[in-house]
A and B are shown apart, each in its own frame.
Chain A
Amino acid sequence: MEIKVLFFGEIQQCTKQSEMLFRDVFSSNQLNEKLQLLYPDLKSKSYRIAVNKTLVDIDTELKDGDTVAFLPPFAGG
C-alpha cells in the first residue's frame, strides 16, 4: 500500500518538499491528520484535497497507487 502525496504553492513551505510517499494511510482524512501532526503549520492554512485529480468534499478511501494533492488558493495576479 503506497500513496503518493503532492504539495502545491504555499503548502510546500510547510512540508519543505513537493511530494512524499505514505504507507498505511487508508483515507483522505487520515492522511490529512497525519500531515497536520507532522507539519502543525498546515492547520492555519487553507487548502483543498484532490484524490486522483478529483477534488473531494468528504473523507475518501485511499487505495494502493492513489495520488493525493494538497491545493491552496493563490492570491497573486
Chain B
Amino acid sequence: MLDKEEIKRYAHHLQLPEIGIEGQQKLKQAKVLVVGAGGLGCAVLQYLNAVGVGTIGVMDFDVVQLSNLQRQVLYNESDIGNSKVNCALEKLKYQNSKTNLIPHNEKLTEFNSQEIFSNYDLIVDCTDNFETRYIVNDACLKNNQAFIYGAIYKFEGQIAVFNQLNDGNRSVNYRDLFPENKEQQTFASCADVGVVGVLPGIVGLLQANEVIKVITGVGDTLMNKLLLINLLSMHFEIMHYNKK
C-alpha cells in the first residue's frame, strides 16, 4: 500500500489512468537490478528511483574517473577514485528515501549472476562490453527473467526488451539477435571510440520507460523488436524480429 506521503509524491503518476494507484503499487513492489552504473546506469537509476521502483539493486565494480563525468551524471568531481556503487547510492538515497537501494559492489560473472539475479523481478543491462552482455543474457534465460537491453556507439543507440513472457512463450533474446562471436571482444567501447555525452542519458531513459511498461503492463514493449536511434540524423527506427 502507498502511504500518505507516497500518494503526494507520485500524484502525477496517480493521475494517469494507465498507471494510477494500482500501477504505482506494482512499481513499489517491483525489484529491479541495474547492471552497470556507467552512462546508461546513471540515467536508468535516477529515474527508476524517482518514479518509485520499490527495490533497486546497483551493480558495478568500477571507480569514478574524471573522463566519466562528461556523461555519467550521478557523479561529481569529489567522487573521483571512489566506488561507483557507493557514490550512486549516496545520491539516490537523498533523491528518494522511500526506495530500498541494494549495493552489489562486485563484478558480474557466470558464477554469481544467477544467484544475484534471482533476488530481482527484472534486470536492466547497462553494461559496457560484450562478454558481460552475454552473461546477463544467459543468467536471465536460466532464471526465466526478462531484461531491458540498452547499448551505445558514438551517436547511435539500441534498445530492446529481451526474454519477456508473452502468451506462455519467451520473446527473442540477445543471442537470437546477435549470436556470440569472440572476435567482437575487440570491438569498440566508449573509451576507444568516444561517445556524445547525452547519448547514454537518452538511451537510458528509453530503457527506464520500458521498465515502467513491463512492470505496470501498459503499452507495447520493445519485445521482439530492436529500436535504433541516431542522434545525428534523428532517425528512430524499429526493426522487427521473430524467433523461427
Given A74-B152, A77-B40, the answer on whether A53 and B184 have CB atoms closer than 8 Å is: no
Contact of B188 among A48, A53, A76 (CB under 8 A): A76
Rounded to whole angstroms, the CA-CA distance of A55 and B172 in the bound complex is 12
Q: Which of chain A's residues have a CB closer than 8 A to the CB of B130?
A: 73, 75
Q: Is the CB of B153 within 8 A of A9?
A: yes
Against A, the Cβ 8 Å flags (1 = close, 0 = not) of B128-156 are 11100100000000000000001111101
**Chain B interface main SS type:** mixed
Contact of A75 among B151, B183, B226, B240 (CB under 8 A): B151
- Please tell me the size bucket of the interface on B: 35 or more
Q: Which of chain A's residues have a CB closer than 8 A to the CB of B244?
A: 57
Q: Is the CB of B156 within 8 A of A74?
A: yes
Q: Is the CB of B239 within 8 A of A53?
A: yes
The winner among A9, A54, A72 for most chain B CB atoms within 10 A is A9
Rounded to whole angstroms, the CA-CA distance of A72 and B179 in the bound complex is 11
Q: Is B173 an interface residue (CB 8 A)?
A: no
**What's the count of A-B pairs with C-beta under 8 Å?**
86
Q: Is the CB of B228 within 8 A of A75?
A: no
Number of interface residues of A (CB under 8 A): 20
Min distance, Cβ A35 to any Cβ of chain B, angstroms:
18
Rounded to whole angstroms, the CA-CA distance of A48 and B125 in the bound complex is 20
Q: Is B38 an interface residue (CB 8 A)?
A: yes
Q: Which of chain A's residues have a CB closer than 8 A to the CB of B126?
A: 77
Q: Which of chain A's residues have a CB closer than 8 A to the CB of B195?
A: 76
Min distance, Cβ A20 to any Cβ of chain B, angstroms:
15
Min distance, Cβ B73 to any Cβ of chain A, angstroms:
14
Min distance, Cβ B37 to any Cβ of chain A, angstroms:
10
Interface residues of A (CB under 8 A from B): 8-10, 18, 44, 46, 48, 50, 53-55, 57, 69, 71-77
Q: Which 3 interchain pairs have the tightest Cβ spacing?
A: A74-B151, A77-B128, A55-B241
Taking A46-B187, A55-B241, A75-B187 as known contacts, 6 extra A-B pairs with beta carbons closer than 8 A to each other, sorted by chain A number, are A73-B158, A73-B184, A74-B151, A76-B188, A76-B189, A77-B190
